[in-house]
Amino acid sequence: MPLRIITISRQYGSAGRQIGRAVAEQLGIGYYDKELLQLLARQSGYTADFIAHSGEYSPASALDYAPLTAQMSGGEMYIPPTDLLVEDQNELILSIAEKESCVIVGRAADFLLRRRSDVLHIFVYGDEESRITRLMERGAVSDAAQAKHVIQDHDRNRKRHYRHYTGREWGEAANYHMMLNTSMLSPELCVDLIVKTFISVP
């Protein structure tokens, strides 16, 4: 079965989101990440009606949802989700996956879509040093000490969130088809490898 969907799980500061966005653009398919999905789920007012029609929200490129993302406070900051919101997001992801080919970054989408055979599950990670460097280049932090703190904080939260909602271990190889370490591999190379894989699997 040809692949239709890519999930990307990633350590904070590993460029996973940047990679996911570029993959979606190159393949010309939808792109969904935490910020967009949280916003869509909130805007829906948690109604089943919105979820049924969520296929309408299918941005073809990252730019399409920039105005939405801008409404969010905190940018990429971690927002502890409520169970209700998570449940709603999960239904939203399942509904999107039914309707279109897309890239989904984060949100334990790998777990949600684990039984489908047309989904490629990617994990993007890196050593702490390279992630600190990336955050500082991005201007997201004031110094290395803050970068380190933010990275450890995010990783701990993602790990905890993933374990709580899935019963599995975040970052464990068995849950993914390809794991890419951006300490060694450039984001551009990772995009190429993922795109190549997506179009190669028969």
Q: Which residues of this chain interact with a second copy, rule CB under 8 A?
A: 120, 123, 125, 127, 171, 173-174, 176-181, 183-186, 189, 192-193, 196-197, 200-201
Between 53 and 196, CB nearer to a second copy: 196
Judged by beta carbon, residue 152 or residue 186, the one nearer a second copy is 186
d(Cα 68, Cα 34) in Å, to the nearest integer?
12
Least distance CB 33 / a second copy (angstroms): 21
Specify the residue, 65 or 158, whose C-beta has the smaller distance to a second copy: 158
Comparing CB distances to a second copy, the nearer of 157 and 183 is: 183
Nearest distance in Å: CB 116, a second copy: 12
Q: Of the candidates 116, 107, 113, which has an alpha carbon nearest to the alpha carbon of residue 165?
A: 107
As measured in angstroms, the least distance from the Cβ of 193 to a second copy is 5
For residue 189, the minimal CB distance to a second copy (Å) is 5
User: How near is the Cβ of 184 to a second copy at its closest, in Å?
Assistant: 4
> Could you tell me the smallest distance in angstroms from the CB atom of residue 44 to a second copy?
33
Element (H, E) at 103: strand 102-105
What burial class does residue 183 get, using C-beta atoms within 10 Å of its C-beta: 0-12 exposed, 13-18 middle, 19+ buried?
middle
- Which DSSP state fits 116? -
Angle between helices 16-27 and 187-200 (to 10 degrees): 50
Q: In 3-state terms, what secondary structure has residue 43? A: helix
Long-range (24+ apart) CB contacts under 8 A made by 162-171 are 162/108, 162/111, 165/86, 165/108, 165/111, 166/108, 166/111, 168/111, 170/9, 171/9, 171/11, 171/123, 171/125
User: Nearer to a second copy by C-beta: 69 or 183?
Assistant: 183
Question: Which of residues 69 and 181 has its CB atom nearest to a second copy in the complex?
Answer: 181
Residue showing tokens 């949280």: 38
